[in-house]
Structure 1
């Protein structure tokens, strides 16, 4: 295929040798399959702020550390330089998160570097070497659904212990490789300690996974892993290897249990709407 203009500098610098094909284009970035020597990888090209459709950046960016005081002041004043720095910080966030989470044992693609605003990383494949499907695109047995849920909850715990929350986790940000699920897409990653909406986003992430996998293993819908891990996190008692039960007794004076359960149902309906939308796009 013709080399996209954004990837030509990587070829010129010898980072990659060729662009094989487009892989996907989303609200935040376009991803291409590329060749580097004998290896096939993927290159994620982030879209400029004006092109992006993600509309809640401010909420996700709350609590993130900015690299310098000058940059922080400029971002706070929304100057031209500040907006440029904010854009750079947004694009750097996923790169930093991947390295941090790989070191923490979370199943994420291996990053190979960030060049000219492009993230080069591992191409997650299935057992036949083809691009791995999303979790929402595969049929699972009840046992597989429970096993995947166990792995993903453990990864969410490891993220939380690293101070991070995915923030947009669903069956469409999880790929299914030969060894199980791999979590992707981290530009909106949330600071667990510095964001006022951290708990809400964590519960939404876990509820999205529970609703999706609960289609194959309905007993998962009666678990409370998100609430349990957040309570342990707040108490300073959550460790990467903490064994969770999925049981939780909330303080009914402060928690609307019906609303929490409604959130799970809403997540299920949203997943269905997304799937129908993707199917409609495929038909066009």
Structure 2
């Protein structure tokens, strides 16, 4: 039976006047907006890799409110903050161009790869540690080009793990934001808007010195209770952020018991720090501090 011809006439109630909004009558839950970002970045800029990183490569939760996690955030390098034998530290600003006030400046510590030089007495720090692949371990011992790259990565991972662990223990360390290859992004420690000076550079009053010592003793006690030793603690890798003491440079953290020299490292840390406090007029003794800490360890 033949079908009637299809009526292509559009009913009048389907016609939309030119002044009618295309969204009129549509449920708002089905409507979304999106921001467009620049196709090209400026000099010394890169896209944030936060969302590309695995969970353990990001800082521990709960995270500080200032952390920028937007996939459209841009990292802008601001310059060198500090240079060292094994790594350099740069200032990097991370901001989402579509979110006003989101900008935050962080410290990016980058370990050298092929030009990497091992830490002084590095073998004594790494006693008790093992690498996942024996081939990498042999390469590091031979100090080949690949071995130097592996060593740089191992030191970066070691510091990252130490920062995470110390932060979770409530210790005064910079918040670890992320690790990407041999670069660790962390909190930039400041005082009055400037980089906080090293403890060796300041001459605080007696009250502040006493406060610093109390903070140091508490931090070392917490470390020892967790079975850890900084291993290279001195007034040069401790920052004076106003009344607050902040410990930095943690790649060589060792196991107090697992490392044969763990207790020697602890005593040396006590000696280095007590020497500074005595020079600032505080009557302290490294043997007394060491004994107090050992009481926390066992």
TM-score w.r.t. the length of structure 2 is 0.68
Q: Deviations over 1:21-50 (max 9, x none)?
A: 211101221101110111111100112364
> Does 1:103 pair with 2:165?
no
**Alpha-carbon separation, structure 2, partners of 1:49 and 1:158:** 36
Q: CA RMSD in A?
A: 2.7
- Please list, as runs of the form range in 1=range in 2, the aligned pairs for 1:101-250 lying within 5 A after superposition: 101-126=166-191, 128-221=192-285, 224-233=288-297, 236=298
> Does 1:75 pair with 2:75?
no
Q: Deviations over 1:211-232 (max 9, x none)?
A: 1011123311476111331254
Residue 34 of structure 1: SS of its match in structure 2? strand
Contact 1:16/1:34 (<8 A) preserved: no
Match of 1:250 in 2: none
**Alpha-carbon separation, structure 2, partners of 1:16 and 1:119:** 17
Shift in alpha-carbon separation, 1:99–1:207, aligned structure 2, 3 A: same
**Alpha-carbon separation, structure 1, partners of 2:73 and 2:88:** 18
Q: How far 1:112 sits from its partner (Å)? A: 0.5
Match of 2:85 in 1: 27
Shift in alpha-carbon separation, 1:47–1:73, aligned structure 2, 3 A: closer
Match of 2:157 in 1: 92
Q: How far 1:87 sits from its partner (Å)? A: 3.8
Of the two structures, which has the highest relative contact order with CA contacts closer than 8 Å and spacing of 6 or more? 1
Shift in alpha-carbon separation, 1:74–1:47, aligned structure 2, 3 A: closer
Shift in alpha-carbon separation, 1:135–1:119, aligned structure 2, 3 A: same
Q: Which has the larger radius of gyration?
A: 2
Count of residue pairs the alignment pairs up: 227
36-45 or 81-90, which moves further after superposition? 81-90
What residue ranges of structure 1 are gaps of 5+ in the alignment? 237-284
Q: How far 1:143 sits from its partner (Å)? A: 2.0
Q: How far 1:164 sits from its partner (Å)? A: 1.7
Residue 194 of structure 2: SS of its match in structure 1? coil
Residue 23 of structure 1: SS of its match in structure 2? strand
TM-score w.r.t. the length of structure 1 is 0.71
Q: Deviations over 1:205-264 (max 9, x none)?
A: 11111110111233114761113312542xx2xxxxxxxxxxxxxxxxxxxxxxxxxxxx
Q: How far 1:102 sits from its partner (Å)? A: 0.3
**Alpha-carbon separation, structure 2, partners of 1:17 and 1:50:** 25
Q: How far 1:83 sits from its partner (Å)? A: 6.1
Q: How far 1:187 sits from its partner (Å)? A: 1.3
Match of 1:45 in 2: 110
**Alpha-carbon separation, structure 2, partners of 1:73 and 1:53:** 18
Shift in alpha-carbon separation, 1:74–1:28, aligned structure 2, 3 A: closer
**Alpha-carbon separation, structure 2, partners of 1:120 and 1:20:** 14
